Each structure stands twice: as structure tokens, then as C-alpha cells.
Chains A and B, each alone.
Chain A
């Protein structure tokens, strides 16, 4: 048993936390899966390594899965931390409810109790850019407008509107999504090319300035549609227009700073 597993087992035993969400070995050696530890015994099964790719932050807004009282520990990857920080800024996680923890390379457990410590940890642990994603975006950027439209039409015609992308995304936490709104019916509910494209455009626009780039939407898509390229590209656009800094309160599109570019006004 690792030292950090022991630490977490102790926290569960002495009631510091009522639940710990982390990862355990999956059904194949290549994969891990999320684990909800309610007691010290289960803490032995926790693992943390490069195979942990699920974004556990998606559970933080699911009240039905969490105990009503007590703190909840999360053994988090950097992607989980980034999503959790964004959720904090959007008032979705009550202060002090979650104890986010990161596991260092030597198995050292770091507790990140507040937004500021999260921000510092994230800044100190930048994630490398995925060269495959960068190459794909470059390929699509090089296309003509018509080619690009044809590419996305072809790609999204396969979408079955299962909304797995929505379910996997920690920031898609609305109790009523726009696709469920029928007064008016903004987006036709069935799966066909145009409504599929409308759905993705809406999803991506709703992620503007919020997406943390974890790739959970792509990982969840049963058809492996490269929908993460859309959010990634939008993030690039926002970085280009407004810089990589995000306002501590509100959204990059809802707030104004005097050095924002105004070159969109012609």
C-alpha cells in the first residue's frame, strides 16, 4: 500500500472526509476507472498514474451521487483541478465542500484547499500540448471554407445525439439544457446532419471562455468524432483575441477590460 493511499485511508477512518473520489484499476490493464471510496478499506484500491484520464470533476455537481454532509476528497489529475477551479468560479462548488488533492511523482499527497492554491498548482504544472490535436487543427485550418463545411457535415452526419459529450463534460451542468427547451424548440431533437451541427455549435459556443481542454467530450464519444477540435479551436481564438488570462469573476465574454481589442468593430 502506497503512503498516500494510507493517508487517504486515515482521512476516511477519522472522518476528515466522508467520501473520496479517485481512480482504480479498470477491467483491462490499459485502463483505470473512477472509484468512490466510502471507507478506509476501499482506499487501498486507489491508483494515480498516466492512465487516469476520466475527468472526475463531472461528479462534483451531481448531488445525487454525493453524501449530504461532510467533506468530499478528490484525488485529482491536473485536468480535474482545472475543471474544479472553473466550477468554483461559476459558483457550482460550495467553498470547503471538496478537498482536492494531487499526487506528486514520489507519491506525495498535496492538499489544495482553496481556489488560490488550485490556481498556483495548475500554473506550476502546465499540460503539454497534444501534437495530434494541433496537427488536426492545422489540417482543418488549411482547408477552404467549402472544404471545411463539407468536412464537418460529413463528420457530424454520423452523430447519433446520444449526448455522451454533454454527460462527460464537467462544465455541462445545466439542469435544463438548451436542447431540452421546446418553447421555442431551438434545436430539432432528432439526429440528422443539420440538428447535429446546430447542437455542436451550441455546445461549443456555451463553452466559449470556459472549456479547460480536458478532452472528455472526445473520449466519451462512441463514434470518436473529433468534437474536441471545435472547443480547442475556439479556445485558441479566444486566447488570440483576449489573451490567455481569464477573469477571476465572470467570463471572458461577459467582462470588459480596457485593453480588450476592439478590432471587430469595422
Chain B
């Protein structure tokens, strides 16, 4: 026989204005299993909670129903009060008399009767409640950071500096990402490499960071605190232990005309190469697609010249598994190539380049040693046109969003050009100038006012090459009444849209994180949880969420690192025990689960595993489903899918819900 206490709250007048609370309490007192019932003006107040605690002690209650507001509001309050009086908090249930009854009905007999019915339903449920204890999930104190750009570098360093171990995976031969390619950074014009490379070195030397370059995440299993990642270490064909990074191989490789990725195709590299002189690690890899030996079976020049015998042509791809507690995704973005734009020549004109290519031209480590020379003939361009919003903010191109960084870097490009070519003339075509940020507006004004960059508000309709080889930029100036403007240019720089990386969708599916229509990864909440994903334990930072500038990227990286560190600082995670459980019963049945595993395909959280029930000799008697409480979100899809009703949600079992619904329906 149960001893349930029923506590009806007036909620000031929120409930008592339309519901006769005293009568509800009276009716509750007569319900089967109810030992005590009362009403009070503010049950959530300290005296109200004291009333509950006292009643639990005095009447030895083994269940509590509070008729009050929505459980979203005060369920934790009342459960805590019960726990303080020594009652298991999961034996306390809330009858929602405010939102479900008093707020939505007129004052009257029927309203009071409905309140009584709701209480009756919860009393029937609580009679079948079981005491539950929170679930503790152990945490592996190691983080995986995917992507070694500035976001990944910052996140890895922040986590590592808090004393946790970090695995940093980068798919290219060196970390550094896009930031390593930049010449100077806005709005201070400090050298990008000068501020980045010390951090890259710090990553490589940090005792808590394990760096895997030329590697990709193959698969990720598991759940928050307990992920298992398989990482593919692509064959570098160079034994890293023997290689001293002397670089002799790269000077001897006969295949010298390969367009280099780091220089965005403006420079060349060899088949065995280090992407750039400041690379970390500063050891070469062989690009199999361009290597004479791999393609034609002959050459091996690098092997012949290597003084330490580090070249290993037969090196296979390696797979390693790492157990980690948290994952930070910092895979970055890319900018559209010029070939995306038919109106700007489909990439046919050599002197129409992207912003990132201009960065390489302006960079001291670039193919022209920092001199602005145009790609077609190597002469210094005297007239340069910069076109902002190439693709961005253009629904017709499928990119309705603003790429955010282009206004600033275009101003920077024009400024750098004016600084380097004093007699040069630069024109920027723009839609709007979006210079929101500390010192950003001042920076753009400086470009216009001090460096005399010619800003034209208007769109460029077409860039074409005249018969004499000159590029002609045809656009409008909307501030001069949409007057047509035609400018001859030696070079045109397109601020092409920042878009998601080609592998973003695939990676999102591997990690079970969501993404937007443009394949940028989605935050759990755009404002209040900006570095978390909907999958617990997986965090985001940098331009894989949307195009971001360096300060914002670093801020999100440190934010994600803070989230990871707060997770890894706990020995175990505590979760609500409202999860699905597969039943157990006496032999020879063991469980009514028949092991059809149809629930496994229905589960949206990959929470269902296989469990072998074994006898004492270790022989498998039966294979049944098992719900991983660390992954289960308690949605109940498996429960409804199980034909033999072998799965139940703790706290919301079929028996409890059936009794509650029956009590609601069975009154005369």
C-alpha cells in the first residue's frame, strides 16, 4: 500500500482563480494510495517546500505529487525538496495544474474536476514509480582536435595548457591552415606568419599534444566522454624518424613544375615537398599523384640522394585508434576559385585572381618574394581592380550569405598594393562596406583617405580581355545614378565567397553532427551555445561554422577549449536516469528481448548495442539489445518499436503511462 502525499499549489491566484484548490486536495485525500493531501498558496516558496519535507517525515511518505506549474519550471525544486527529506527525488511527480488547466479554462466545476483528474493520473503513476539514481559515465581525459589551422592550433594549445592531452589531426603535410598563407593581417598589418609560426612550433613541442599531419579521421564511434576515433595516417613515403629535414630531396626531385597548393597555383613545387619553409613538421612527403616513381615505376632520385635513407616507397597507410573524451571540429573553409564565375572569365584569364592568391603575391614568402607582379607576364600591374562580394550575397549563385571577411581583406589588399606600388592605381567595387569590428572602420577609412584607394559602389557585370590583351572591367557606379563605368585593368582580384570544405558533409555524417544547407556545421544554439553541436561532447570553432576572421576564429577556439576543459575536468559525467533499459528476467528466458535488433536501426542516437548473455563457462546463451545509458536521450523510439515490449524508459515505463492514462480516462 502506497503512502503518497499530494500538495496542491495555488500559485498565488494563477491556479486558485479558476480551480478550487481546497476541493482538489480533499478529493486527492480520498484517492487510493494517498496518505496525506493539502493545499498552500505558494508551494515553491521556502515554507511551501518545508511543508512537503515535514509531511514526508511525519507521514513516512513514499511518493509525492505536487499539483502546480509546468514541470519545466519547478520539477527540480520539488525533487530537491523531497531529496532533502530523504525521499528518492524520482518518486516526486508534478501534476501540471497551471498550464494544462487553470490558465486555459474558465472558472467552474469542470475545471476543478479536470484538476482532480490530472492529479489522479499522476497519483496512479507515482504508485508505480521506482527509485532511480543518476547515471555516472566515465570521462576519457583526452581531446581530439580535427584540423590544424589557427582554430585547431589555438584550441589544442588551450586544452593542452590546462593539463589535458590533445590529439591534433591535420590532413595536409603541415599545420597552419589558411593563416599561414596570409601576408599581413587586418587591421594592424602585422605579418601573419610572424604571429602564427611560433604557435605552430609550440604545438609541435608541447608535451601534451600529439600531432598527426597528413592524416584524416576515418570514423568516430562512441559518445561524450568516451569517443573512439580511427585515424588514417596517409603514407608520407618518408620515414620521419630518419628524416632530418635537410631538404636535399626537394632540390633533386626532377618533377619541378607541379602547381603548389600553398601558393594557390601561382608557384610550383616538386613531387617530394615541404609545403612552405616554415612548415611544422618541417619534413617532406611524396605526392604520389605527381611522383614519377609511383606513376611510371622509374626515378627514385630522392632515395638515391637522401643522406639518411629515409625514403620508404613501400610505406602503407596506417590506421590508429585513439580514445578521447571530447572532439573539437576546426576544419575551416575554402574560397571559391575564379573558375566559378562565368562573368569574370571562368578562370581563363591569368590575371584575374582570387583574394587568397593576392595574399600569396603580397607575402614575403610567396612566389614573387612579396613584390606585386601579375601572374601572366610577371610585370608590376599599374592598375588593379578589386571586386568584393564575388558570389557572396547572391542567391542566384546559391550563396545568399555574407562571407564577412572580404570587405576587410579587400581594403587590406588595396592598401598593401598602394604601399608596394606607389604609382599604382587601385579601384574597389563594393556593395556595402561591412567593417564591424574593433578598429575595422578606421582601417577602411585609412585605405580610402590616406592610401587613396578608389572605392566605387556598384556591381561588376563583366570582366573580359580585349583584343590587345588588356582586361576590361565593366560595372556601374550606383552613387552616380547607376552610370556605367569601364576600367582598364592590369590585374583583377576577386573577393570570392568563403564556402564549406568539400569533405564537410561527409565529416558531419561521420560525427553525427548537423550542418546547414551550405554544409557549414550547425551550432547547438546560435547565440547561447555557439561552440557546441547537438551531439554532446563535440564542439566547433573557426570557419567550419561560417566564414570568420582571425580574432573571431581564435575566440571560438578558446571558447570550445573552455567547454572541453570543463568536461575533462570531471572524473565522470552525471546524467538523468530517464533512459531506455532492456529488461532481464529469470532463466531460461533471461530477457524477453529476442535480439531482432530492429530497435538498433530505429534509434536516432546509435545508443543500442549488442550484449551477449553468457553462462559460467563463457558460452553465449543469448544475444540481446543493450542500451548505452551514456548515449540514450530517452526519446522512446525503441520502446514503441519493440514488439515484445522488452524495452522500457525508466521513469516513464509502459506500466506507469498506461496507469496514468487509464486514470485520466476512467472517471464517470
Q: Which residues of A contact B (CB under 8 A)?
A: 90-92, 173-178, 181, 183-184, 186, 206, 247, 249-251, 253-255
Contact = CB atoms under 8 A, between A and B. Distances in A.
A181 B653 CA distance: 13
Query: 9 tightest A-B contacts by CB?
Result: A250-B601, A254-B602, A184-B658, A174-B644, A90-B596, A176-B592, A254-B601, A206-B643, A251-B598
A90 B597 contact: yes
B645 A92 contact: no
Given A175-B644, A177-B644, A178-B644, A254 B592 contact: no
Interface in B614-668: 623, 641, 643-646, 654-655, 658-659
A174 B643 contact: yes
Which residue of B589, B594, B643 has the most chain A CB atoms within 10 A of its CB atom? B643
A265 to B, nearest CB: 17
Given A91-B595, A175-B592, A176-B646, 14 more contacts: A91-B623, A173-B594, A176-B589, A176-B592, A177-B644, A178-B644, A181-B645, A186-B658, A250-B597, A250-B602, A251-B601, A254-B599, A254-B641, A255-B602
A95 to B, nearest CB: 13
Interface string B586-608: 00010010111111111000000
Nearest to A173: B594
Nearest to A184: B658
B28 to A, nearest CB: 23
Nearest to A202: B643
A19 to B, nearest CB: 21
Nearest to B593: A175
Contacts of B592: 174-176
A247 B598 CA distance: 11
Nearest to B602: A254
B617 to A, nearest CB: 14
Nearest to B661: A184
A245 to B, nearest CB: 15
B625 to A, nearest CB: 10
Nearest to B604: A256
Contacts of B599: 254
A90 B655 CA distance: 27
Nearest to A203: B643
A186 B643 CA distance: 12
B601 A176 contact: no
Nearest to B622: A175
B481 to A, nearest CB: 49
A177 B589 CA distance: 13
Contacts of B594: 92, 173-175
A206 B594 CA distance: 14
B589 A91 contact: no
Given A91-B623, A175-B594, A250 B600 contact: yes
A178 B589 CA distance: 15
Q: Which of A92, A247, A251, A254 gathers the greatest number of chain B CB atoms within 10 Å? A: A254
B645 A178 contact: yes
A90 B644 contact: no
Contact of A255 (B589, B601, B623, B659): B601
B287 to A, nearest CB: 36
A184 B659 contact: yes
Contacts of B600: 250
A184 B643 contact: no
Nearest to A177: B644
Nearest to A210: B598
A150 to B, nearest CB: 25
Nearest to A206: B643
Given A90-B597, A92-B594, A176 B644 contact: yes
B35 to A, nearest CB: 24
B324 to A, nearest CB: 28
A205 B592 CA distance: 19
Interface in B94-123: none
A176 B643 CA distance: 9
Residue from A181, A184, A249, A255 having most chain B Cβ neighbours under 10 A: A184
Interface string B506-535: 000000000000000000000000000000
Contacts of A181: 644-645
A91 B597 contact: yes
Contacts of B597: 90-91, 250
Nearest to B659: A184
Given A90-B598, A173-B594, A250-B600, A184 B654 contact: yes
A249 B608 CA distance: 14
A90 B641 CA distance: 14
A224 to B, nearest CB: 26
Contacts of B589: 175-176
B595 A249 contact: no
A91 B596 contact: yes
A60 to B, nearest CB: 13
A90 B623 CA distance: 12
B655 A183 contact: yes
Contacts of A92: 594-596
A141 B508 CA distance: 46
17 contacts: A90-B596, A90-B597, A91-B597, A174-B594, A174-B644, A175-B589, A176-B589, A183-B654, A183-B655, A184-B654, A184-B658, A184-B659, A206-B643, A250-B597, A251-B602, A254-B598, A254-B601
Contacts of B641: 253-254
B649 to A, nearest CB: 14
Contacts of B645: 176, 178, 181, 186
B655 A184 contact: yes
Contacts of A183: 654-655
A213 B658 CA distance: 33
A258 to B, nearest CB: 12
Given A184-B654, A184-B655, A184-B658, A178 B643 contact: yes
Question: Most A CB atoms within 10 A — which of B596, B623, B646?
Answer: B596
Given A176-B589, A178-B643, A250 B598 contact: yes
Contacts of A254: 598-599, 601-602, 641
Contacts of A90: 596-598
Contacts of A173: 594
A35 B595 CA distance: 28
Interface in B454-506: none
A34 B655 CA distance: 41
A90 B659 CA distance: 32
A160 to B, nearest CB: 23
B611 to A, nearest CB: 13
Contacts of B646: 176
A178 B623 CA distance: 20
